[in-house]
Amino acid sequence: MKQVLVFDAGGRHLKRISTHLKKHYSVYGFSSIEDVRAHLENSTPDIVILCMSQDLNQKHLKIFKDLSPVIGVVGKEMQGTVKKAFSAGITDFLIAPCSPFELKLSIESALKSKSRIEKLQKEKERLQAINETTFLVSSTLDLQEMLYTIVRKIAEIVPVVRCSMIRIDKEENTADVVATSENPKIKNIKLDLDKYPEIKEAILTKHAIVVNDIKTDPIMMDVRDIISPLGIRSIIVLPIFYRDTAIGTLFLRTSRSSRSFSQDEIRFCSTVTNACANAIYNAFLYERLEYEKTSLGKLAITDFLTGLYNVRYFYHRIEEEFTRALRYKFPLTCLMLDIDFFKRINDTYSHRVGDQVLKEFAQVLKKNVRSGDLLARYGGEEFIILLPNTAKTGSITASEKLRLCIKDHKFKSLRGKEAITVSVGVASFPNERINTSDDLITCADTALLEAKTKGRNQVVFYT
């Protein structure tokens, strides 16, 4: 029921007007301006009836200036005060004594006018929000920033409990919250799709799903007991399309507790997402290209089988490290490792098992070198390690540690039937025979050959 505030400083018309209006409205009548002030602190009326009298001064009128609409009731003897009242924001007048019909008609007209103005104002705010959102998302290729901008702007205009962007992985039957209006840092939260039938329905139909009341909507029947305690009443799930094609599997999901979503609110959410679809699509493409670029860059320097750096990348890095060691007189050590009798593993267990042994061997090495060391596959069953800022004593200790780790490791691929040993050749700079990075590798290779000649499963330092 609409709330009407009636103020009559003189009290001449208060009782009669209040009696007429109580049949149709919730009426609060006052003859004291202090009582009006107290009432307005806790409540805002839908309309104000202001009885104009000699007791009503400019200070009184200021109290009602920000309230709308205000209908003035003017006695014939008070018609000269109309100009003063207009300046205070009163836009409609009745001449007292007025009939109940005139009063009700005037109120209904004022309320309709107010409703139209409010609707236009909301439409203006929504258009401004759409314009602002499309501008913001078009000015960035950061997908995370873009998605958060959209959900935040929707949550500012449409009162909701939460507004989120959901990315679906159809193959895994999982969903991730990639952006939510609550916090820009909240992302990549896993969802169990079995608990979100409205999202599953949107995926299946590729259409907007509107749940006006979770208590009665058959879609929510299986999860009603889970959602009801959360106080959520209405939910929208909107698939985001670009040129009639769903952008991957990205969905906007909003929920509220107070009431169902209006058609204007649903239309607004849909308009925002559709207006931003082109920018979202471009950001997806950019993100994918950046990922592929990174992946290709990683592939270019990575050994496919073991996942370690390849020898090409190692050559590039050893030149940099050797130049640095030469300039600043830092020690630099190179280790070359060769799996002993690896051909026998291939011949006995097959090349497939041999590949698995190489993978596992690489992981053992990776776990036992420092983060600043450079580990690469040199070729076949040979591996090479660069130890920056490491002299002879430290390099022999590190080499022995690696040799023993390999010897004691039970390789899963061989099911513990056979132990694997490794021969290690070590060379360190500074050394009078080592003037380039190639010299360092050659000397380590020479030491490795000596280790194998002496019977394998040992470390030899180049001197």
Domain of 421, CATH number, reads: 3.30.70.270
pLDDT at residue 323 is higher than 90: yes
CA atoms in the 13 A half-sphere facing the CB of 200 = 13
Q: Do 352 and 431 fall within a single domain?
A: yes
> HEC states along the chain?
CCEEEEEECCCCCHHHHHHHHCCCCEEEEECCHHHHHHHHHHCCCCEEEEECCCCCCHHHHHHHCCCCCEEEEEEHHHHHHHHHHHHCCCCEEEEECCCHHHHHHHHHHHHHHHHHHHHHHHHHHHHHHHHHHHHHHHCCCCHHHHHHHHHHHHHHHCCCCEEEEEEEECCCCEEEEEEECCCCCCCCEEECHHHCHHHHHHHHHCCCEEECCCCCCHHHHHHHHHHHHHCCCEEEEEEEEECCEEEEEEEEEEEECCCCCCHHHHHHHHHHHHHHHHHHHHHHHHHHHHHHHHHHHHHHCECCCCCCECHHHHHHHHHHHHHHHHHHCCCEEEEEEEECCHHHHHHHHCHHHHHHHHHHHHHHHHHCCCCCCEEEEEECCEEEEEEECCCHHHHHHHHHHHHHHHHHCCCHHHCCCCCCCEEEEEEEECECCECCHHHHHHHHHHHHHHHHHCCCCCEEECC
Query: Is position 131 within any domain?
Result: no
266 and 342 both lie in a single domain: no
- First vs last Cα of the chain: how many Å apart? 99
| 144: containing domain | 140-288
Domain annotation covers residue 455: yes
| Amino acid 116: pLDDT | 85
pLDDT band at 387 (very low <50, low <70, confident <90, very high): very high
- The pLDDT value recorded for residue 402 is 94
- My answer on whether 326 and 276 are in the same domain is no
Whichever domain contains 12, its CATH number is: 3.40.50.2300
Does any domain span residue 359? yes
Pair (103, 171) in one structural domain: no
Cα 208 from chain centre: 21
Task: Quote the percentage of the chain above a pLDDT of 90.
Answer: 30
Residues 34 and 92 in one domain: yes
Q: Is residue 22 part of a domain?
A: yes
For residue 183, the model assigns a pLDDT of: 82
- Verify that 359 and 417 share a domain, yes or no: yes
- Co-location of 212 and 277 in the same domain: yes
Average pLDDT over residues 319-332: 93
Q: Are 315 and 415 part of one and the same domain? A: yes
Portion of the chain with pLDDT greater than 70, in percent: 90
Domain co-membership, 9 together with 97: yes
Q: Is 90 exceeded by the pLDDT of residue 339? A: yes
Name the more confident of 192 and 174: 192
pLDDT of res. 80: 57
Looking up tokens 């002299």 gives: 391
Residue 76 banded pLDDT, cuts 50, 70, 90? low
Contacts of 184 (CB under 8 A, 6+ apart): 148, 152
Instruction: Answer whether residue 306 is part of any domain.
Output: no
For 249-284, how does the pLDDT look when each residue is reduced to its tens digit (9 = 90+)?
Answer: 456 676 767 778 888 888 888 888 878 777 777 777
- Residue ending a domain, among 80, 115, 150, is 115
Asked if 84 and 204 sit in the same domain, the reply is: no
In a domain, 304, yes or no: no
What is the token pair recorded at 349? 């267990």
- Domain edge (last residue) among 226, 254, 288: 288
> Same domain, yes or no, for 157 and 219?
yes
Scan for tokens 């009184």, then name that residue: 60
Same domain, 90 and 37: yes
Residue that finishes a domain, picked among 100, 115, 130: 115
Express each pLDDT in 416-463 by its tens digit: 678 899 999 999 999 999 999 999 999 999 999 999 999 999 999 998
Domain membership of residue 121 (yes or no) is: no
Residue 248 has pLDDT above 70, yes or no: no
User: In this structure, what CATH number is given to the domain that contains residue 228?
Assistant: 3.30.450.40
Q: Please say if the pLDDT value at position 103 is more than 70.
A: yes
Q: What pTM value is reported for the model? A: 0.54
Count how many domains the chain has.
Answer: 3
Residue 79: per-residue pLDDT:
54
Does residue 211 register a pLDDT over 70?
yes
Is 301 inside any structural domain?
A: no
